Structure 1
Amino acid sequence: MKASLYLVLATLFWSGNFVVGKAAVASMTPMDLTFWRWTLAAVPLLLLAHFVEKPDWRAVLRRWPVLLLLSALGMSGYTLLLYGALGHTSAVNAALVTAANPALIVVLAIVLLGERTTRLGWLGICLGLLGVLLVLTRGELQRVFSLSINTGELMMIGAIMVWGLYTIIARRLAVPAIAATAVQVAIAAVTLAPFALAMNVRLPETAAEAWSLAYIVVFPSLGAYLFWNIALKTTPPGTAGNYLNLIVVFTALLTVVLGTALTLVQIVGGLLVIAGVLLTGRTRQAKPAAAAASGRAAKSRVPGV
């Protein structure tokens, strides 16, 4: 019961990142949010990893080349694209595109690693793709051929492509999850510093900006990772991965609570995406080997939000 509560809280915190991030980019740049998010979260995450996982830090740091690559993809690249996208599209649409991540990871595993899936898995991938296309085109699928798709949603496609590559690479990283995340966050803070300086990154200047950044640092960056990894100690990763579908649900609910109505296209597209994810996840757990691979992916498939 506690594990389920922790998983629900983690997804709720990540959902809030879409909603709060959408409000924050109205006055702060993606670089402002990304740099300060990871800079302020780095030390707490390192302490969290040290006391929760007690890793062999020398062994962890020997993996620095792959940790550097993962940081560039998952912490810097994905987060910059996410906040950039939120400047052009709604929080719900961004979350719906992100929900296609699991299906995209399956496709990348097939293309890059030679993994296989079943007909049911392909059906799930197609359903997820159709759901995303409905959202991207506002229900007018012919817009795909005219390339008249919102800039923000195109950036979200780029974001989930980056996260898909991140997940494929992270699958084989034999480092405790929180420690790996903490080191990647610290690397991101250091490597982004010259760019932040060149782009005149600033601290929040209003109370609203300060509260937005505080939420992003405390809840999706610290609390969600802590709850997620504690839950994984007693919950099969494949089962935990299904909770990621709640991100779309919570984002939609938060948006409605804040006064923005959902469209029929968003609802239908969201249902198709979630159905597709459930189908692809189910087929990946059909065989023991596939289940093991899916488990490793679920641990690192935290949606980087």
Structure 2
Amino acid sequence: MAIHISALPDGTAGPGKAEGSSLTVPYAVAVLCWLLSAGVYIAAKWVAPEMPPWTLCFWRVFLAFVILLPFVHRQFGVMTGLLRTRPLDVLIIGGIGLAICQGLIYTGLHYADATTAGIIMALMPITTMVLARFILGETMSLGQAIGSGFALIGVVVIVAHGDLSALLRLDVNAGELWIVASALCWGLYTVLLRRAKFEVPRLPLLVLLLGAASLTALPFFLWEFAAGMHSALDRNGFIALAYVAIPGGALMYYLFNWSVEALGASRASALLYLQTLFVAILAYLFLGESLHGYDLAGAAFIAAGLLLVTLVKPKVPAMAKP
């Protein structure tokens, strides 16, 4: 659930992008980042009976915002300038990507397994690519279109639990549909962020987007509270909230930003799929979940689609010779 790498400005080379033997620590940091991110799925599923989804979403983004804010105090001028000129863009993009997307995941986890959620969220690069084709006009090759089709088949297999007739009967898990909607929101967020081209360094931009996400999640949180959906914050609730806000929130976002600065966006983004693996392992260890046959079949289609999307690049028309 980290902020999407490819949508952010690349930052400058300099003390930044490491090479050779110095890559060991940045890669280790990136792996740790995705491990912490996977832990959020486990914590959200674990605490689902005790904490409403939007309450968890609000406190996660708000506490991460408060914790990271002191780290960007030197960029307050740049951040204020962006808020003066483009406040609506910041609010919409941060709200979609870091509030609505997460709220939908946490809602889905009330009804679906964390393992299934992790597999479905592996669609994020594909949803981003498809939406970029229609919103940004980016080129998509035939192979990438076929890969997207494979991934869609994988999602259908998972949502239908391997029984396609269940779709005709509308006998599907609503939680898994919420998670599919979350993946679509993430793709939309990434495309909008890429189109916005905010001229702000990564970490200050992340803090601004977390602030926007806090404002977006606040009305949903207040609605849950007014409706009597209060958190039963016993020991487990406090542990889960502390995890998603600090190690799985502020620390994960900080490590993510640091790894992208060290590795560059393309190398760091290649590690995204570790999150799905980590979710499956942690869900088995802490929640007692196991992979079903339809999960494996759907994951195989999604993996095949991702390979096609990653390996088959669209052809760029050659420049005419003078």
CA distance in 1, matches of 2:284, 2:194: 36
For 1:274, which of 291, 295, 303 is the aligned residue?
Answer: 303
1:179 has 2:204 as partner? yes
Q: SS in structure 2 opposite 1:68? A: helix
Aligned to 1:260: 289
CA distance in 1, matches of 2:152, 2:158: 10
Alignment of structure 1 residues 156-305 onto 2, 5 Å: 156-172=179-195, 173-174=197-198, 175-200=200-225, 202=230, 205-258=233-286, 259-284=288-313
Q: String of CA shifts for 1:96-122, please: whole Å, max 9, x gaps.
A: 111111111111111222222222212
Q: String of CA shifts for 1:130-175, please: whole Å, max 9, x gaps.
A: 2222211111233333332210011112111111111110003322
CA distance in 1, matches of 2:216, 2:133: 32
For 1:122, which of 121, 139, 145 is the aligned residue?
Answer: 145
2:57 aligned partner, one-letter code: T
Q: SS in structure 1 opposite 2:112? A: coil
Structure 1 residue 188 displacement after superposition: 2.8
1:31 has 2:88 as partner? no
Alignment of structure 1 residues 1-80 onto 2, 5 Å: 1-50=24-73, 56-61=78-83, 62-80=85-103
Q: Are 1:238 and 1:285, in contact at CA under 8 Å, matched by a contact in 2?
A: no
Aligned to 1:299: none
Q: String of CA shifts for 1:70-115, please: whole Å, max 9, x gaps.
A: 1221122111111100001000111111111111111111122222
Percent of pairs identical after alignment?
A: 27
Q: Are 1:49 and 1:55, in contact at CA under 8 Å, matched by a contact in 2?
A: no
Q: Are 1:60 and 1:180, in contact at CA under 8 Å, matched by a contact in 2?
A: no
Q: Are 2:109 and 2:175, in contact at CA under 8 Å, matched by a contact in 1?
A: yes
Q: SS in structure 2 opposite 1:199? A: helix
CA distance in 2, matches of 1:192, 1:77: 7
Q: String of CA shifts for 1:253-283, please: whole Å, max 9, x gaps.
A: 1112232221222123223323322331333
Q: SS in structure 1 opposite 2:263? A: coil
Structure 1 residue 39 displacement after superposition: 2.0
1:93 has 2:116 as partner? yes
2:163 aligned partner, one-letter code: E
Structure 1 residue 15 displacement after superposition: 0.8
Pair 1:46–1:286, CA change in 2 (3 A):
farther
After alignment, is 277-286 or 239-248 more displaced?
Answer: 277-286
Structure possessing the higher radius of gyration over alpha carbons:
2
After alignment, is 117-126 or 150-159 more displaced?
Answer: 117-126
Structure 1 residue 48 displacement after superposition: 2.9
Q: Are 1:17 and 1:220, in contact at CA under 8 Å, matched by a contact in 2?
A: yes
CA distance in 1, matches of 2:128, 2:36: 23
Structure 1 residue 216 displacement after superposition: 0.2
CA RMSD of aligned residues (A): 2.3
Q: Are 1:13 and 1:224, in contact at CA under 8 Å, matched by a contact in 2?
A: yes
Q: Are 2:52 and 2:231, in contact at CA under 8 Å, matched by a contact in 1?
A: no
Structure 1 residue 124 displacement after superposition: 1.8
CA distance in 2, matches of 1:195, 1:85: 15
Aligned residues: 287
2:257 aligned partner, one-letter code: N
Pair 1:195–1:19, CA change in 2 (3 A):
closer
Structure 1 residue 285 displacement after superposition: 8.3
Pair 1:203–1:263, CA change in 2 (3 A):
closer
CA distance in 2, matches of 1:285, 1:6: 32
2:294 aligned partner, one-letter code: V
Structure 1 residue 287 displacement after superposition: 6.0
CA distance in 2, matches of 1:48, 1:140: 50
CA distance in 2, matches of 1:18, 1:36: 15
1:57 aligned partner, one-letter code: M
Aligned to 1:155: 178
Q: SS in structure 1 opposite 2:262? A: coil
For 1:105, which of 128, 139, 148 is the aligned residue?
Answer: 128
Q: SS in structure 1 opposite 2:164? A: coil
CA distance in 2, matches of 1:223, 1:49: 14
